[in-house]
Structure formats: structure tokens, C-alpha cells
Structure 1
Amino acid sequence: MGDQYPPPAADHGGAATVDQVGIASGASTVVQAGRDAKVEVNYGITRPQPKALAGLPPAEAAFTGRSTDLAVLADVLRPGADDQPTVATIAGPPGIGKTTLALQAAHDAVDAGWFPGGVLYQDLRGFARQGRVEPEAALATQLRKLGVGGEHIPPDLDGRSALYRSLLAERADRVLVVLDNAEQAGQVAPLLPGDRRHRVLVTSRNTLDLSSARHHTLGVLTGEEAVELLSLLLTSAHPGDDRIARAGDAALRLAELCGFLPHAVAIAGGLLVGDRDQPVAELVDVLADRTERLTELATRERSFRAAVDLSYERLDPPDARVFRLLAANPGPTTTAATAAALADLDERSARRSLDLLRRAHLIEPAGPRGRFRFHDLIRLYAEDRLRREEPDEPRDAALRRLLAHFHRLMAAVWVHELPTRLVEGKQLALTGTFESRADALAWFDAERPNLVAVVNRAFRSGHHAGVCLAAIVLGYSLQRWGDWDEALTVHRLAVEAARQVVDPAAEGRALLGLGTAYRTTRDFERADAVLRQALDVLGRTGDRAAVLAASRELEGSRLSAHFFTPFTEPADDEPDVPENAPEPSPGTDVLAAVAAMETTSNTAMKLFVQGRFDEARAASEELLAGCRQIGSREGERVALNNIGDCHYHLRRLDQAITSYTASIEAAREVGNRHGEAQTSNSLGNAYQSHGRPDLAVAHYDRAAELFRALRDRYGEAMTLSNLGAALVAQDERERARDCLLRAVELLDGQQRPQDAARARALLDALGS
């Protein structure tokens, strides 16, 4: 019979070919050691061929979600997929659920009848401290499952691999090979069938170098899937356990604290199963302490820390050090430049370490190419390793290097904000750091959360001298970008840091920055107080140029206060330059021109507030010419906006539209989102007055979107009020009502009764 071994060799003294060791086929030729040869083996086996192709471990009973992942794997596994790779790898960090997914996909495929020849499952134990399965041993196991007796297994790797592939090629039916927990491609390659009918699923914490495979990286569960998994774990253990269903938001918070990682979620579920009286909210409170979360995420059988240990311990010492020091960056992402600063390495070496950590899935890509992040729980693990393995001084030194690195690059960003004539012909150390203003702005946008986090951490760590200088530059950049809340926070840190190191010059400049930020956020009362402090402090420093700059800023703030709150009178008193302020040190003609442009800007604003619009326009055109002469694109933006305002009030609407459009173009070029929002609203007003409500709506929509993103509630409210009026003109009454209701809500919340009254009047005109 085909399913039994032939008679014992002792009775015949013969030899057997491949089919005579239990494989139902004719004689087989195999390639071994580079030559064709009949594999002849002695036999003496009378028992039936073992049934070892149904050894797939059971799938998890509590399995949920992963429909997209299963579909990707099914595309490779299903019959007739001849255009697909024969191997699918599932990679991801510890605890992501790679084995669980592979087993579910394998069971689904078997249940669908795709692999009538059975399944060969092998745990390669690639990350185990002991018992890693080498290819020779793995092949011996697979050959035994295929019915080859131990005495017939070739002694060498090539011989075993050739026999294994030949046996699979002889099989009439498709076979699925599941290779779990591989560390390297070298563990897997000898176990890959040569026949394209068969399929292979491989799981690994590393991205394996298997060029012919479909590589699939597994992500975390969704919030809904993680909560469902928690519920399944509890109800599987105790069918009446409805704590997850009753927990409400606490269940989602528990899943979030587990990082939506299936392994961590399973541990949390096990903790709840083991203590049936524990409310979900209580476990949430326990895990909320991030310093103890890894310790708490453990049961007698499972531990998240232990799972990550196995990956960490595989790292070479230099890469393990980089992994630890990445946790010294309190920001959410890192780059090779950041890692180099933290670890005091050259950028090429840092990039190599990051690539290795990425392939080990201890970090993951984040946004633009070359930027990486930790998973939340792996960050906690890295922070724990950092505390335990790096003394205080090396940790502190890493933070100081990172602060200095960011300070240097923030200063390089500001090189592109300077008037071009101030930079031309100068061999500034930072001029070539970024090739263009666009590159500088893109860097700043990507690094913004890291910059704020590092400055805050460095301040709390006592690095006040470094923080003061970095925070002043960062605060202005955040203002320009429109991140006002962070700008105020950073400017306040700069002031306090300067006071800590008793540096009056830095304190005065930090106060000037803070006053400017208050002016930008329309908190004119605080702006006035802080700018007066700046004048007082700077008056004692010997920097008359800084004193005059603060004086101009205070004058501009007072004019702005009247512009935005027209029911108040402008301040009559001019800001005084302290008598004891010394004469300025020699400067350049460009710096003098910048100061003159600021004075002209204030003059134009004063004329505008007085209703002298044509004179204000002339002053603004003088400002525009001056800004173009010194190469200040931001100054051009301001001047063009002001010229548009003057034309608008003079009812020269075509000229207003032209100026506003040019101002918006400049705002986008310099990355001033708030300037773009304000001028887009003004352009909407111009089109509305021009009888083009359709174009007005488009620009109001853009302005409202920007104000909302910038969290400028007043700007959003005023734009929505204007948008409501334009929509009424287009007979879009329902949308108009929604906009006006939102405008009233926002304005009431800011105690702006006059502005709210206008929106209410428009609502009343709409009727019911």
C-alpha cells in the first residue's frame, strides 16, 4: 500500500529510493552537493507513515480584527496565485501579535481547503536565550514530519535541504510551511520549498532579508479592536463577566495604556481575569503611572518587559547604547542627526544604528523618510534601560548636546528669515545649513514638537544658560508658525532662564519676545506691561538698539490694541526710551534700514487708525519699497496686506484684491500661516464687496480652516460671521445659520459683545 513502509531491509538486504522512506511516489532524483544522485538509504521500518503534517498549533480563541492583514496574507496563500510570491513574512515589534496572526491565517487557509497536503509548523526560537533552532536541526525536524526516519536523514545542511525540497516537490498536494519566530534570513532560507505550489509564512521581530518574499509589517490594533479583545478575554474565562461592556471610556483608556499591543492587552485582560472583583477603572489608575507601567504589565506567565528583553539583548553594545540614549530625547521623533547628537557619534554611524533598530522593530518610521519614533511601551522600556544603565552625567550630557544641536539649527532657520542684504556677501557660519527657506521651514515644522519638548526638559534639568538662548529663537519661530500657546510658554521659559543665570541682556530680549507674543495673541494689556519691563531692563544693558526695538514694539502694540478694539481710544503717550540707555554700538546700514522700516510700519498703522487711508497707503508703499530693497519678504507681506486694507477702505476693490493676493503669496512663501489666514479673510471681504460672494466664500473657508488649525478662536469667529453673510447672499441659508451660530458661540465665550451682536443680527435676519 502507498501509505505504508516496504518490507524490512533485513529480509532482502536491499536499499531504498526516496519513495521507499514513506513518500507515496516513484523513484526520485535530488540535487545534493552540486550533483544529481539517487539518494539511497537503508531501511528497516515496518510502522505506518506518521501523520505529522497536521501539527499546526491552535489559533487563539480570543482573536479579533486584523481583517486587512489577513487579506494581505490570503492573497499569497490562496490557490492559483501564481503571480504572487511564495513566501510571506510578518514582522513587527515584540507583542504585536505576529504569531497569533500567522496561526489564524494558516487555520483560515486550511479550513478553506487550500492546503490538502497539510501544514509543517516549526518554532525557530530565534530570540530565545536558549534553544535557538539552527537550520540543520529545523530540517531534521521537518524531515521527520515528512516521514523520514532519523537514520535516513543526511548529516549535512545541504543534504538535508535537498532531500526536504525533493520530498515536497514529490507531494501531489499543496503544503503550507509556517516558520515562527525567526531571527535571521539564514534560519529560514534552507527551509523554503523549491516548488512554487507550496507556500511559506514566516514571523520575525526583524525585517528579514528575503528578496523573494511579500513583506508585511504588522501594526497595533485599533481602539475598537483592542477593547473587543479585552471583552473576549474576560468572557472566555467567565461568560458572565461584563466589566468591559460596563466600563465605558475606561476600557478604551486601558487599551490605550497598553499601547493597543495585543500582548500587553492580553496581560491586562489576564490581570482582570485573575481578580474578578477589580474594576477596570482601578486597573487604569494602576497603569497610569508611566514609571511603574512595565512592572505592572505582568502576570505569573507573561511580562511585557521580558518580551522586549529578548530583542534588546540581541543588540550589539553600541546599538544598545543608541537605543537607550534615544529615550533621552523627550520629543516624539528622532533622526540620524538627533541620534548623533545624543550619542556623540558621527551622523553616518548614527544612521546605521537607527537602521538596525528599525529592522529589529524597536523603533518605527514616523512621517518623512529618515524620521523614527518609539512605540509608547517600548519608549518606557528604553527609558527604564537608560535609568538603570547610564549614570546621571552621561544622561545629562546627552541632553546638553541635543539642546546645543537644536539651538544651532534653529539659528540656521532664522538665517533664512533675515533680510537677504544682511546675509549677502557674509560668510555666516550657518548660511549653508539649509539650502532654501522651504527646506528650513520643512525642518522646523517636522521638529517643532521635539524642540518644545527638549527646551522644557532642559529647563527642568537646570540648563538655564542654554535654554535662554535657544528659547528666545524658538519662541519667535513658533509665533511665525502660528503656534501661539507654545510660543508664550517658551518665551516665559526664556525670561525665567535668563533670570536664573542673572543675564539682564538676555532677560530684556526674552521680555521683548514675550511682549511680542502677547501682542500677537491680542492680549494687549499684558503686552503693554511686559514691553515696559523689557524697556526698563534693556535700558540698563548698554544696548540702545534693543531699547529702540522694544520702544517700537510697544508703540505698535498700542496701535494694534486700538485697531482690534476700535471702541477704545489709542494711547496718547509715546513709549519713552530710558534716559540712561547708552548710545548704540556701530551697526550696518541694513540694520538701520530694518529699524526705519519698523518705524514706517507704525506710522502707516497710526494713519490708518486715524482714518487717513490714502496717507496710510502711501506710507505702506514706502514700507514695501524699503522691504524690497533690503530683501525682507516678511516685511513685503505686511506692507502688501496694509496696502490692501487701505485700498479696501477707499473702495478701490480691484487694487485691494491684487494687493491681498500678493500678500497671501508672500505669507505662504515665508510660512506665516496666521498672516495668510488674516489676509484670506480680508480678501473674502473684498470679493464680497465686489459682488462675488462665490469667491468670497472660498477665501473665507480657507481663512476659517487656518484660524481653526491655529486655535485662534477670535479670528475663526470673525471669519465665520463674514462667511455667514456671504452664504446668505448665495441663498445657502442652512449653512449660513450653522456658521453664524458657531460664530456667536465663540464670541460669547471670549466676551466680545459687539462682535457677537453683529452675528446675532445676521441670524435674526435669517429668521426661523
Structure 2
Amino acid sequence: MQLRILGPVDMWRDGRSLAVTGLKQRTLLGVLVLNANRTISHDRLMAALWSTEVPATGRRLLHSHLWSLRRLLGDGQALVSMPSGYSLRLEPGASDLDVFTTETALARSALAAGDASRASELFRQALSLWRGPALGGTDAELQASEGAALEERRVMALFQRIEADLALGRHVELIGELRLLVAEHPLDEKLRGQLMLALHHAGRTAEALAEFQSAREHIRDEVGLEPGHGLSGVQQAILSAGTVPAAHSDTQERAFTLVPRQLPVDIARFTGRANDLRKLDELLLASSGNVPTVVISAIAGTAGVGKTALATHWAHRVAARFPDGHLYVNLHGHSLREPVSGLQVLRRFLRALGTAADEIPSELDERTALYRSLVADKRMLVILDNAATPEQVRPLLPGSPLCRTVITSRDTLRSLSVTHDVSTITLDVLSADEARALLVIVLGARRLDDEPDMATELARLCGHLPLALKLAAAHLNDQPALPLRDFVARLRQENRLTALDIEEDPQVGVRAAFELSYRALPETVRRTFRLISLQPGPDIHLEAVAVLTGLSPHETRAAVDTLVNAHLIHILGDRRLAMHDLLGLYGRERGDAEDSPADRHAALSRLINWYLHTVDAAVGQATGEERTLELTTPPPVDTRTFSGVDEALAWLDVELPTLMAMITHAGTGGWPAHSWQTTLTLSRFFYMRDRVDEMVTSHWVALSAVRQLGERRGEAELLKSLSLAYMCTGDYAGYLSHLRQALAVFQDIGDQMGEARVLGDIALALVTLGELTQAVETARRSIDLLQRLGNRSSENAIMSILARAYRDLGRLTESRDLLRTCLAYERGEQRRPDETASLIELGWVHTQLGDTGIAVELLIRALRMAQELGISTLETEALTGLGTAYREQGLHDEAVGHHRRALNRSKKLRSRHLECQALIELGNDYLAMGDSRSALEHHRTAMGMAAKLRERRMDGLTRKGAAEALYSLGQIEEARRHWEDALATLSPMGVPEAEEIAERIRETAEPMTGPSQ
């Protein structure tokens, strides 16, 4: 089989074309062929299929298209799924693109060697593969980008085939073809010159000279310029009646000029960087319309990331495209040696270009002018490696659009783009797949296959940095019997920078590479780098860097800009900064050597205290509640403020990973008070955003810190707060246990306010567990205590719990009146989350009272408020309540729809309580619709969940629902057993459902018959 993209995208098998149907299928195949034998990420494939409008189901649809494509390919191994994407594995010659690439490369080599006959034949074979515009039938955007790049390659091959034919004397045959090409590309002077040569050698010299005049007029009219030296040279050669070259090429000049070939040896074990190589290939073909442009590419990145390797490898790949030579210099911008000046480099370049030593000017400007004159109209590749500053490279940039220049630097060389059009490629560390591929190359697949997990861990510990990976491989190759796990253990236990050093040549180590970048910085910038490496989070905001360093915002920005330009830190977006693991280790190492312990402690103290008070401000703004905790440290003068709920929540969401790291570091590193106070302050945000995992993790760290200090009240508050996490996961035994521990501490220290609030929380837990009488008693104890203390806010919260207990007991008017009182207070105090919860509860009460119109109105309002607040638990509860109200109105489809949404959301929240509640209501929906089998299925699922939750009331309600479904299905005996189990569970609670069940048992006792199936 051959895959074809040089024309309409299709497959060719057994002498016939197999059409690939569907735009998406053709686009997908085109992208895979273009990137054959390389892994393409899921995101990139989806972007190719849908651009920026990727549907929500994009990943699933992509897999469906890939599955269909795999069936078409017929070879299960051709399209391989990888962790990070997909790879189309093709043998050489399996695609028309691969054949075209191979044959044109061979043709260019033959042309350069003077074998015009073989070059012409190979170019013709390659061009015959084209069946129309490349990537035909694919997405328009793919055709416009990739298709255009392929067309450039076709045109280049065509021009070179004509050059070979001219050299073979096929002048008469070429005239017609060249006239058509000139008509298509009227500004291309190369084509004009070839046409003039063909006409002249065919004995039609007058027409050749007329063609020059026509070209001259056209170029003047279109771009206001005279023809270039190449076309004018052809005219002069014809006019002088001297020896006119058979083909218009630069070979004539090259015969008398030394052709420099200065590229260093290619990296034999180069791997990865497919996207970066492709970008360089695209820049190679860059032009602005029909007017050639000077193209300069800059490869930037941190030390050891592989900039020189990429530049050298790419240069060797495209060397044949630059027949006039390749110039290379290591500028030693980051080296133990002094940087090489432009004046020195120009002397080397001029000598390489054939200039005698005594003819080289002494002044920089004169050398630059001579250099640019010598390379004008030549196809040359210039590699300026390891540049330090823009000033170092500016004199070395050719002015010819036929040349291509590639610069590598640890600096971004931003100011160079002010004076030149520079395209920058910033190298990141290797991907996990690329890092493993590099290790396979340098260590061998067998050694890695023996310990696959260790290979992955080795790459991670090396930070996927190419230099570190090669150093690790050097150590392992030096000890072939050493297991990977032993070397990995060493990297874990020791200083990784030291472990990766090569003792006999420390200057090639990672530490030495970082040192060269670090030492080039001013002291203020070096100090900023050292302090950023101290912060424990995965990243840090520019604002926090200013706090850490104590610099002004302006000074901080300047220092950070310098670090970013030097690629010692990188920007993640929205002024967030991150540091490579090994660079962080190096920064802390330099901090230990250059900063005093007191200075480092003071910097982290500023940062940790700033986070505590900024979290306090953000949580207060997000929840609209006053804190109950008095912070023990004074606020810094630069504490951030927030203008509204959205801004505060956005800040908390983004900063959460850093805050989690800060809590742990503070708890174990000397700031225990900050650790537990930050955690307790965040608890309201954790609950609001359903961040249960972070809530549990941070609270256990904080409990250890607060017990270390012997701060009993803080311990009680944390236990109370931690209980909410257990409630959210449906672990009500854990919920109640932690509340009772908190109550004991509050009572022990005589904190009546804390005692009252915990009593209220215990009442809520008892309501959930169905201990309703005890819940009412506990809630009233809490309210009495709060009334004596004069705390209306907390009293209101406990009244809501008491109202819930009254509802479950069937005391609906008492519940309604309490909730109305709560709502009035919450609206007056603008406590919107509490108001939302009260509206939901009041909606349930009105549903049970039969006021379903009022219930729907209340629950719709609650749903909208929950969505505006972004509180998923309240949104789920509102959906469940609304679905039940709709069912009572006879709107069964609406009921099922809302309950299914509630079920899906509860699963995402991992709230088994809410999930069980939604299942019960769905079961009741199906009962009301007469679908007893679906009802039974949902109630049985809920029954198993209620048993695990140990929620007795829910367990009783699920058995009640299952009994009704079984009775409708004619399974009378089993229905009766479920009713009896439900009655035994619910009767001690005193809930009204117990009497309903007792009545059903009496009704069905005689005769023992029921509806048939």
C-alpha cells in the first residue's frame, strides 16, 4: 500500500486507488502522513480537524475517526497509539511524499556533482508523483499551510529540473514550458534568466534580449526596482557575445571561489524535536509574496536544552540546499572563554570566502561591507552558535535573501528583532516520549526494557533535559552491569547536580552549564534567581516575587525579564513564573553558598505571611463572610485586595497548587502558625469549590502543626473544619467522629461559642443519619447557647438545621416558619450561599405541603443563584428538589431530566449522599410513570449506596421505593419483606413515611395477591 497526499489524499493498493471518504478522514490521514514516524499529540490532531472550535466530545470523535482510519489501513501496527498521541509507522517509500523527498535529495546531489542527466531523470520521476494540488480534499486551513509548503518544494524541484535540462542542451524543448512558468511567476528572475538562455542557445537571441526588457519593465512597475545581478548578468553575457553558460546557475562562480564547509560534525544520536525541525524547514522557504526576504532564525533556551545540537542537525539535513557554502562559528557567549567579537569572526569568514589576509580591512564597518558583498547573490547557510548579545551578531548577518542565518543563544536576543526580522524558536525540555527515545539511543532498548519504570523515573529525575540525560547515560555506559534502579536511587538520595557530574571533566556537567548563565547576571538578578528557587510551589506570580525579594514592582519586573531572557526561569502565562527542577536545585545550592540563613528565612517569612493575609482577603471577598479566626501576625503593607467575588475565586483557583505546597512547607519548615491558619482560612473556599482532596491533605498537615504549638482552640477549629470533608464524601461516621472530638476540645478550654457552633454541626450530622429526635434536641441546645451569647449569625445557621429536622419529622409548618425567618436574615446580611441553601430547603417543604407552584419558583431561583455562585453542591441539591416538585405536578419528563442532571453532577462531585438522593428520586419518577422495572433498578442501586453510607433514613426510603416497584411487578412476598425492613428502620425515627409503610402493609396483608406482570 502507498499513501498519497501529493494531490487528492487517497491510498493506492494492488494497482488501484482507494478513496478515503469524508473531509475529516482525509485531513487526518494527511496530517499523519506529513508527520510519519513521529508522535502527534491528541490536541494537535484535534486542532487539525476542528481548528479552534473543538467540540466537547472532540477526544471521543477523534478516536472514532482514528479507528475508522486504522480499518482502512488494514495493518494494525501501522497506526500506533502512544500515551501522548498517535504515530503512523511507515516503511521507506510507503508514501508519495517520502518518495518525492528521497528522489529530489538524490537529484540535488547529482546536480551538485555535475551529473545533469541523472539529476534531470530523478527530478522528473519525483515531479511525476504530483496529481494536482497537495492535500486535495482536506481541510482548507491544512491546504493553505501544509499544502502551500509542499507546493514550494514542488516548484523548487521543477526549477532545478529545468536547470539540469539546460545544462544538457535541451533548449528548444524548454522554451514553451518556461514561457508558461514565467507567465505564472512574472517576478521570478531565475525563471526569466533560464528562458533567456534557452532562447539564446536556440538561436533566438533577439527574443532573449526582448525578454529581458519585458522583465525589467514588469519588475519596475510592480516593485519599483531594477533587475538583480543574476538576470542582468545573463543579459550582459548575451550582449558581449562571449561564452554564455548553458544553465543560469551559480556553478560558474563557484568554480573559481573557495566554497567553505564549516559545519561541525552532525549529532549522530539526535532524536526528537520534530516540531522545531519543521519550523526551521518552514523558515527556510520563507518569503514575502514574490519578494525574497532575509530570513534569520534564532534558537533560544536554557543551558543544556540542545540548541546547538538542533541547529547542527538541521544544518546537515538542508546542507545540499546551500551549494555556495556553510559558515559556522562558536561565539562563546556563555563559555569559560571570552566571547568572540564580530571583528574576529569577520576575519575568519572573509578568509573562508577566499579573501587574502592582506586584503581584509581593519575596521568593523568595512569588514561587514566586504563580507556582505561577497555573499550577495549566493546561497549560503550561516550558523552563529552560542551568541551572547545582539551587538555580537549584527555585523555577521548577511544582507542577501538567498542566505539563511541561524543563531543559537541562551538569551532571547529581543532587541535584535528591532533591527532585523527574526523568528525565534524557544526550546523546552524534551517530552517524556522524546526523553525515553534519547535514552534508548544512548543506552540501548534492552537495558531500558529490563527496567521500564526506572527508565521513566531516570528521565524525570533528569528533568527531561538533554544534557542531563546524556550525562546520566555516560555514567551508566561506564558501568554496564549497574542496574538502572541503583543509579536512580543515587539521584534520589544525593545532590543530582553532583551525581550527574563527570569527575574527570566537570566542565561538561549540568552545574557547569548553569554556572555560565548565572555568572553573567547582575547581582540583583542573581539574588532574585536564588530566592525564587526557595519558594516551594510549582510556580509563582510576579507579584509574589516582589514580596519574596523585597524589591519594588519595577525592579522585580526588570530582574524577572533578565532571568526570562536568559532562560533561567520561564513564563507560564498571566505573569506566572516557573523554574526547571534542576535549575531550582542549582539556585538553592547557590543560595546556601551566597545568602545567610537569616536572609533566606526573612524572605520566606515575607512570602508565607503575604500568602496568609492575601488568602484571608480573597476568601472573605469570595464568601462574603467575616472570619471567625483572628490571625496572629500583622498584615504586610502590600497585601492584595480584590474587587469582587469572581476576581477572588479566580485568584484562589490559580494559586491553589502553590498554596498547598506553602502550607506543607510552612508546617514542616518553621512556620506552623501560618500553616494551620492558612488552612483554616481556606476551608470555606475548599467547601465552596468542592476541593475535598486538598481539604483533607492540608488539614492533616495543619493539625500536626497546631498540635506542635499546643494551640487547642486552633486544633478544635481544624477538627470541626475537617469534618466537612468527610461529610462531602458521605463518610458520616467520620464526620460525626471529628465533630465530637472538636466538641470535647471546645468544652475542655471553656469556649462556649465554639461549643455552640459544633453542637449545630453535630445536629446536622444527626439529621443526615436519621437520628431526628436527638438532632432536634442538639440543635435547640446550640440555639439556646447562641442566644445567650448574642450571636445571631450562628443562630441562624442552626435554625436552618432545626428546620430540616422538623421537615423530616413531618412538622412542615414549623419548618416553613423557621426557614422564612432564616431567609429574612440572610437577605438582610447578603449571605447569598446561605440564602440559596434556605431557598432549596423551603422548596422541599412547599413540595411536601402540596404548594408545588411556590416550590418550583423557589427552587428555580435557588438553582440560578447556585450557578452564579459556582457552588456545585447547592446546584445539585436544587436540581434534585426541582425535579421532585415537577414530578408532583405530573411533569414526568422534566422530573427525570432534572434528576439525571443531579445524578451526573453528584458523581463528578464524588458525593455519595447527593448521588443516593438523586437515585431515590429517579426511582420515584419511574414509579410515577409506571416503569416499575427502571424504578426497581434505581432503588436497588440506591439501597447499596445507603448501606455503605450508613444513612438509616435513606436506607429506609430506598427499601420503601423498592417495595412499591416489586409490588407493581407482582413480586408480593419480596415487596412485603422490603416494606417490613423499611418500617423497622424508619419507625424509631418518628418520620411520617413509617406510617405510610405500615398502612401499605395492612392494605396488602389480605388477600395475598397483587397486580400481574
Report the TM-score range of the alignment, normalised by the length of the smaller protein: 0.7 to 0.9
TM-score, normalised via structure 1 length: 0.78
CA distance in 2, matches of 1:70, 1:747: 58
Residue 586 (structure 2) aligns with: 381
The amino acid across from 2:708 in the alignment is Q
2:308 is equivalent to residue 105 of structure 1: no
1:622-647 deviation line (CA, Å, top 9, x unaligned)? 43332121111111221233234445
What SS does structure 1 have at the residue aligned with 2:382? strand
**Shift in CA distance, 575/666, structure 1 to aligned 2, threshold 3 Å:** closer
RCO comparison, higher one (Cα < 8 Å, 6+): 1
Kept in 2, the 8 Å contact 1:540–1:581? The answer is: no
Kindly indicate whether residue 323 of structure 2 is the aligned counterpart of residue 120 of structure 1. no
For residue 300 of structure 2, the aligned residue among 85, 91, 97 is 91
Name the aligned partner's letter for residue 298 of structure 1: D
Structure 1 pair 467/168, CA: closer, same or farther in 2 (3 Å)?
Answer: same
1:601-612 equivalences under 5 Å are: 601-612=800-811
Contact in 2 for aligned 1:687/1:696 (Cα 8 Å): no
Q: Could you tell me which residue of structure 1 aligns to residue 265 of structure 2? A: 58
How far the C-alpha of 1:720 sits from its partner, in A, is 8.5
Q: Is contact 1:697–1:726 with CA below 8 Å preserved after alignment?
A: no
Whether contact under 8 Å (1:338, 1:402) holds in the other structure is yes
Alpha-carbon deviation of 1:438?
0.8
Q: Distance in 2 between matches of 1:336 and 1:612?
A: 57
Post-superposition shift, 1:444?
0.8
Q: Does 1:214 align with 2:423?
A: yes
C-alpha distance 760-223 of structure 1, shift in aligned 2 (>3 A): farther
Residue in structure 2 matched with residue 322 of structure 1 by the alignment: 528
Out of 476-485 and 357-366, give the one that drifted further: 476-485
1:452 paired with 2:660, answer: yes
SS, match of residue 345 in structure 1: coil
**Which of 357, 361, 367 is residue 160 of structure 1 equivalent to?**
367
The 1-side partners of 2:479 and 2:302 are apart by: 29
Instruction: Work out the CA distance in 2 between the residues paired with 1:422 and 1:581.
Output: 20
Q: Are residue 274 (structure 1) and residue 478 (structure 2) matched?
A: yes
Cα distance in structure 2, aligned partners of 1:439 and 1:745 = 42
In the alignment, is the contact (CA less than 8 A) between 2:379 and 2:403 conserved in 1? yes
What's the offset of the Cα at 1:561? 3.4
SS in 2 for 1:120: strand
Cα deviation for residue 470 of structure 1 reads 2.5
Q: How does 1:175-574 map to 2 (within 5 A)?
A: 175-209=380-414, 210-211=416-417, 212-235=421-444, 242-289=446-493, 291-299=494-502, 300-301=504-505, 302-366=508-572, 368-417=573-622, 419=624, 433-539=641-747, 544-562=752-770, 571=775, 573-574=777-778
**Does the 8 Å contact 1:325/1:386 carry over to 2?**
yes
Q: What is the CA–CA distance in structure 2 between the aligned matches of 1:230 and 1:649, rounded to whole Å? A: 68
Counterpart-to-counterpart distance in 2, 1:643 and 1:130 = 79
Provide the identity percentage. Answer: 32
For residues 50 and 418 of structure 1, do their structure 2 counterparts lie closer, same or farther at Cα, with a shift above 3 Å needed?
Answer: same
Measured after TM superposition, the shift of residue 379 of structure 1 is 1.7
**CA separation in 1, counterparts of 2:910 and 2:688?**
14
> Using a 3 Å threshold, how does the CA distance of structure 1 residues 96 and 569 change in structure 2: closer, same or farther?
farther
Residues 67-120 of structure 1: CA deviation (Å, up to 9, x unaligned): 211121111112656687611111111121111111222222224x3x222221
How far residue 513 of structure 1 moved from its aligned partner, in angstroms, is 2.5
Q: CA deviation at 1:142?
A: 1.8
Structure 2 alignment gaps of length 5 or more: 1-229, 234-254, 629-634, 930-934, 970-1013
C-alpha spacing 1:502/1:228, structure 2 compared with 1 (3 Å): closer
1:475 maps to a residue whose letter is: S
Assess, with a 3 A threshold, how the Cα gap between structure 1 residues 757 and 559 changes in structure 2: closer, same or farther.
closer
User: Residue type of the partner of 1:309?
Assistant: E
Q: CA deviation at 1:703?
A: 6.2
Which has the greater radius of gyration?
2
Per-residue CA distance 1:539-589 (angstroms, 9 max, x = gap): 466754444323322322322333xxx9x985565269799999988x8xx
1:360-384 per-position Cα deviation (integer Å, ceiling 9, x unaligned): 1111122x41001111222222222
**Normalising by the residue count of structure 2, what TM-score does the alignment of the two structures yield?**
0.61
Displacement, 1:726? 10
Which secondary structure does the structure 1 equivalent of 2:400 belong to? Answer: coil
Query: What runs of 5+ residues in structure 1 fail to find an aligned partner?
Result: 1-22, 27-47, 236-240, 731-735
Relative distance call for 1:696 and 1:159 in structure 2 (3 A) is farther
Give the direction of change, closer, same or farther, for the CA distance of 1:234–1:480 in structure 2 (3 Å limit): same
Tell me which residue corresponds to 1:628. 827
| Secondary structure class of the residue paired with 2:406 | strand
Q: 1:340 to 1:432 in 2, by over 3 A?
A: closer
The amino acid that maps onto 2:718 is A
CA RMSD in angstroms comes to 4.4
Cα contact 1:539–1:581 (8 A) shared by 2: no
Structure having the larger proportion of residues in helix: 2
- Does the 8 A contact of 1:161 with 1:191 survive in 2? yes
Aligned residue identity for 1:411: D
Query: Are residues 372 and 419 of structure 1, via their aligned partners in 2, closer, same or farther at CA, if it must alter by over 3 Å?
Result: closer
The answer as to whether partners of 1:52 and 1:146 remain within 8 angstroms in 2 is yes
Quick one: which amino acid aligns to residue 562 of structure 2? L
Per-residue CA deviations over 1:714-755 (Å, capped at 9, x if unaligned) read 65687699899999999xxxxx9x999999999999899998
Identify if the C-alpha distance between structure 1 residues 648 and 160 changes in structure 2 by more than 3 Å, giving closer, same or farther.
farther
* Aligned AA (2:437): E
In the alignment, residue 216 of structure 1 is paired with which amino acid?
I
Query: In the aligned structure 2, how far is the partner of 1:205 from the partner of 1:594?
Result: 59
**Distance of aligned partners of 1:638 and 1:578 in 2 relative to their CA distance in 1, 3 Å threshold:** closer
Change (3 A) 1:715 1:595: closer
Provide the C-alpha distance between the structure 2 equivalents of 1:116 and 1:341, rounded to a whole number of angstroms: 56
CA drift of 1:434 comes to: 0.8
CA distance in 2, matches of 1:725, 1:179: 75
Aligned-partner SS, 1:574: helix
The 3 A distance-change label for structure 1 pair 729 and 651 is: closer
Q: Structure 1 297/555 Cα, relative in aligned 2: closer, same or farther at 3 Å? A: same
Asked if 1 retains the 8 angstrom alpha-carbon contact of 2:895 and 2:925, the reply is no
Count of residues in Structure 1 that have an aligned counterpart in Structure 2: 691
The residue type paired with residue 332 of structure 2 is R
Measure, in 2, the Cα distance between the counterparts of 1:727 and 1:219.
56
User: Structure 1 residues 525 and 694, CA, compared in 2 at 3 Å: closer, same or farther?
Assistant: closer
Offset of 1:167 from its aligned partner? 1.6
- 2:358 aligned with 1:145: no
The structure-2 alpha-carbon separation of the partners of 1:691 and 1:208, relative to structure 1 and needing over 3 Å to count, comes to farther
Rate the CA distance shift 1:739–1:182 in 2: closer, same or farther, 3 A: farther
Q: Is the 8 A contact 1:683 1:696 kept in 2?
A: no
Give the secondary-structure state (helix, strand or coil) at the position aligned to 1:438: helix
Name which of structure 1's ranges 51-60 and 691-700 shifts more when overlaid on structure 2: 691-700
Asked whether the equivalents of residues 372 and 398 of structure 2 are also in contact (C-alpha less than 8 Å), the reply is yes
SS in 2 for 1:415: helix
Partner Cα distance (2:940, 2:583) in 1:
45
Provide the residue aligned with 2:277 in structure 1.
Answer: 70
Secondary structure at 2:551 match in 1: coil
Matched to 1:153, the amino acid is I
Tell me, in whole angstroms, the C-alpha distance in 2 between the residues paired with 1:67 and 1:613: 69
Q: Distance between the aligned counterparts of 2:928 and 2:406, measured in 1?
A: 63
